[in-house]
Structure 1
Amino acid sequence: MVNKDEFIKRLEKVLEYYGLSASAFADSIGVQRSSISHLLSGRNNPSLDFVLKILHQYPDVELYWLLNGKGNFPIKSAPNPNSKMVLDLGEEDQSTYSEKTPYEVPNTAVSGQKKPISRIVIFYKDGTFEEFKNDRE
């Protein structure tokens, strides 16, 4: 269960870090300004949708840090979606994949069909994850 008072403190740190007022923050994540006001006052609890909107708009915010204070904020080494990545294919030769960007990895290696990639989610053993979205579509 999320401690509401601690969540509010972390949300205030996010606002301070980005130099945003509550209303500017609400506008940036696409929620009503009153929603932020109600959250910051302790009247309402954060919804899953609200948390996901924060994570989508502000990639330096780590899920576990926001929810329970574990982890880092800002994320020390935020992934660059334009950086090179290697697709782990186990024992297969990876040389053909190491020079591709995340959106150029051929999904024929996985499904046998050519389809555009909309997002890639990487789950780590510590329970954290990273999401890469294809904003080019």
Structure 2
Amino acid sequence: MVNVEEFAKRLNIIMDFYQLSAALLADKIDVQRSSISHLLSGRNKPSLEFVLKILKTFPEVELYWLLNGVGNFPKKQTLGSIQNPPTLFSNEKKITVEKTFPIKTIEENSKEIERIVIFFKDGSFKNYTS
């Protein structure tokens, strides 16, 4: 079941990310402006058609993130192929991840880190592998 208030927060994150007003978002995904207003106010739940329009128009949006906050926005990219560090959004805070793999510990027998997992307060997590 989709939490309408949390869905509205994620919809606001998408609008901020793409620098869109509610009216521009409605025009871009071809829905009535009142539909966006009702979703943002929590009056209505999102329809399947609405969700599919968001996913089709904005490929950086993950379905599970949009519906229940699990996953990432924008979509996760492979760290090994990125020139600039990615920007991830979690709990409406901007987090920058620096590319620092592989990392070695300073010990007699140096060990290489296999993965790093970051857990967020909302129950989601981000997994980084070298």
Give the alignment's TM-score, normalised by structure 2: 0.58
Structure 1: how far apart are the matches of 2:37 and 2:29?
14
User: Which structure carries more strand by proportion?
Assistant: 2
Structure-2 separation of matches of 1:56 and 1:66: 13
Q: CA deviation at 1:77?
A: 2.5
Matches within 5 A, 1:77-96: 77=77
> Which structure ranks higher in relative contact order (CA pairs < 8 Å, sequence separation ≥ 6)?
2
State the match for 2:35 in structure 1: 35
Q: CA deviation at 1:28?
A: 0.3
RMSD (Å), alpha carbons: 1.2
> What is the total number of aligned residue pairs between the two structures?
78
Q: 1:3 corresponds to which residue? A: 3
Structure 2 unaligned spans of 5+: 79-130
Q: Which runs of 4+ in 1 moved over 4 A?
A: none
- How many percent of aligned residue pairs carry the same amino acid? 68
Residue 12 of structure 1: how far off its partner (Å) = 0.4
Give the Å deviation of 1:49: 0.3
Equivalent AA in structure 2 for residue 35 of structure 1: S
Q: Deviations over 1:29-73 (max 9, x none)?
A: 010011001110111110000000000000000000000000000
Q: Which residue of 1 aligns with 2:109?
A: none
